[in-house]
Chains A and B, each alone.
Chain A
Amino acid sequence: MTGITKRHLMAGALALPLAAGGAFAAQADTLTVAGSGGGLAQVMDMLYDQPFTEATGIQINALATTDRASALQAMMRSGNTIWDVAELSPVDYAIASTNGWLVPIDWSRADPDGLLPDEARLEDAAVVATYSTILAVRSDRLPEGQAMQSWADFWDVETFPGPRGLQNSVMDNLEFALLADGVERADIYDLLATDEGVDRAFAMLDEIKPHITAWWTAGAQPVQMLADGEVAFTSAWNGRITQLQAEGVPADMIWQGGALKPSYMAIIRGTDMEDAAHEYLRMLLTDAERAAQFAELVAYPAMLPQLYDHLSAEAGANLPTHPDNMDVQFVTNALFWAEHMDRLRERWDEWMLE
């Protein structure tokens, strides 16, 4: 008799958290969107989230998150999807896509008029924004009459003396090193897939290493370092430099050899909000006027070509997807990095300690 009672108690205790979890998950009028928070989330809230709620009655629960691939892995293992939609970096997207954690996108609903270029319409994700790792230069620290124009110039410490910064990251830097060594943009990833190519990139990095005073890890750092004069030349994310220029710091962006990266938005497997998610994506992707306002505010534009119709030539020229800038950059190969990141990062970490 007591045995049965105990078993009942156990079952009750185990069922309790599950029931509570179910109650929270079943809110049909809320779409949970995992983004990166901060100022970007404020702009999203103003331009998209609030109007979306007004139009559909569906609330947007915007979360500030990091390490989204890892969080998705936790959700998939526990079988408990708590995000409906997530913004993913190239490597996070590649991990999530190859593991099958994303729902295929019905493009007849997300972009019914076919406004987006093919690069933005993936089977299981949409490109909602773009950003570039570019070369940022304090123009007042350049030698008289000289202009820095490429990664080769960044490597040229004789013509351009001064402290330099690079990100403490293997991604981007191997590409920049090969460009500085005269490799064509189109050949970068073919070369990096070979041991010789990686050796060649590290040999170039050996040359510049003594001149790098700071290896940044957070996007705010290069901005701070340029403003404080800690470095004169550094790699940086384009949107941050736009802000710096707005504050009156004489900083230039060099698009030549910039690493353009798509920011993906995907619907997470296990969500019961697929319809609302498609509706939300359609708003993010196809409204050229809002996309132009967004690009003006954060400098991370969508791939919608029509957005440039709503921007001044001046504002447009500062954006990564502007045709002039697209022509001189390369697109970071997410699949390459998802495959080789582990091995190359180990070598990078070793190299950093040397």
Chain B
Amino acid sequence: MSPGQKWTVLPALALALVMFAVPVALIFREALFDPAFTLTHFERFFGRPVFQSVFRNTLMVATIVATACLLIGYPMALFIVTRPPRWRPLLLFLVLVPLWMSILVRTYAWMVVLGREGMLNHALLTLGLIETPLQMLYTSGAVYVAMVQILLPIMVITCYSAMTEIDMGLVRAARVMGAGPVRAFRHVFLPLSLEGALTGWAVIFILSLGFFIVPALVGGRRDALIGNMIVNQVAQTNWGFAAAMAIVLLAATIILLALLRLLASKFLHSPRQEST
């Protein structure tokens, strides 16, 4: 980069500063000053078991949703990327369509499907598989199903774009050298696409941490996420406590992602060592 070009990054830098750094700094100020320096909000968070159990639940839900999306989304992306090129735009389009619908609409749609007199119970009763309606709505299961359905397209897209960058000649080379399809996939394709898959996992994990509409609408009484708690506190004008919870969430996310990166750099990029 020439010295003249260096200035072209300034607008982007200024934008990041105004739109990201300043708000984060304000959140820290809100949590720590009232108006004098205080740790009351953090003491309240760590002093009451309710907030910690909701926080643990949030991390658990995010982990399960991200993992489920990975297990479903990765094969979907693999399927699309191995189709003839003329079919791929249509298949990708089908994956993307649900993303254009509001989360609220998709959540209400799940209420119609999972309800006591909903489509699924109706079908099961008609087929004679059950005799009384199952309680599916207002359970943790409903939260997982709805969140996975809402976030899955993001996983498919992330995996797909990583997979399209893989030189398929390498897979063919492995086959020519005598590797079976499973072996070629495991030792060539999988390691090369794993970074994209992990990126997808991390994105879904982070997005899940902020969910609050879905658990409020289809979850049971134990399914509150930290987002629900933050919304309540904001509505009540307790911004200090809301900010403190946001900071704890941010810190936990950064630590977890740093750990993930560390693990990834340790185990990725070394397919040759792995195969010996």
Taking Cβ atoms with an 8 Å cutoff, the residues of A that contact B are 66-67, 69-70, 73, 91, 95, 163, 168, 212-215, 217-218, 221, 224, 228-230, 341-342, 345-346, 349-350, 352-353
Contact = CB atoms under 8 A, between A and B. Distances in A.
A217 B220 CA distance: 11
Contacts of B216: 168, 217-218
Main secondary structure of the interface of B (DSSP, over half): loop
A229 B112 CA distance: 12
Of A66, A70, A163, A224, the most chain B CB neighbours within 10 A belong to A70
A218 B235 contact: no
B50 to A, nearest CB: 4
Contact of A213 (B111, B117, B135): B135
A353 B228 CA distance: 13
Contacts of A95: 236-237
B118 A228 contact: yes
Given A214-B137, A353-B221, A230 B53 contact: no
B238 A349 contact: no
Interface of B: 48-50, 53-54, 111, 115-118, 135, 137-138, 216-217, 220-222, 224, 229, 232, 234-239
Contacts of B237: 69-70, 73, 95
Given A70-B237, A73-B239, A95-B237, A228 B115 contact: yes
Nearest to B232: A345
Contacts of B239: 70, 73
A229 B116 contact: yes
A163 B133 CA distance: 12
B49 A350 contact: yes
B52 to A, nearest CB: 11
Contact of B48 (A215, A221, A350): A350
Contacts of B229: 349
Contacts of A67: 234-235
Given A69-B236, A70-B234, A349-B229, A215 B137 contact: no
Contacts of A353: 50, 53-54, 221-222, 224
Nearest to A349: B50
A309 B237 CA distance: 41
A353 B137 CA distance: 18
A230 B237 CA distance: 34
A350 B50 contact: yes
A342 B238 contact: yes
A-B pairs, 5 with minimum CB distance: A350-B50, A217-B216, A67-B235, A352-B221, A229-B117
A215 B215 CA distance: 11
A32 B223 CA distance: 38
A75 B143 CA distance: 35
A173 to B, nearest CB: 12
Contacts of B236: 69-70, 91, 95, 341-342, 345
Of B49, B54, B115, the most chain A CB neighbours within 10 A belong to B115
Given A215-B220, A230-B117, 14 more contacts: A69-B235, A69-B237, A70-B234, A95-B237, A168-B216, A168-B221, A214-B138, A217-B216, A217-B217, A228-B118, A342-B238, A346-B50, A349-B224, A353-B53
A258 B259 CA distance: 53
16 contacts: A69-B237, A70-B234, A70-B236, A70-B239, A213-B138, A217-B217, A221-B217, A224-B111, A229-B117, A230-B117, A230-B137, A341-B236, A342-B236, A349-B229, A350-B50, A352-B224
Contacts of B222: 352-353
A342 B216 CA distance: 19
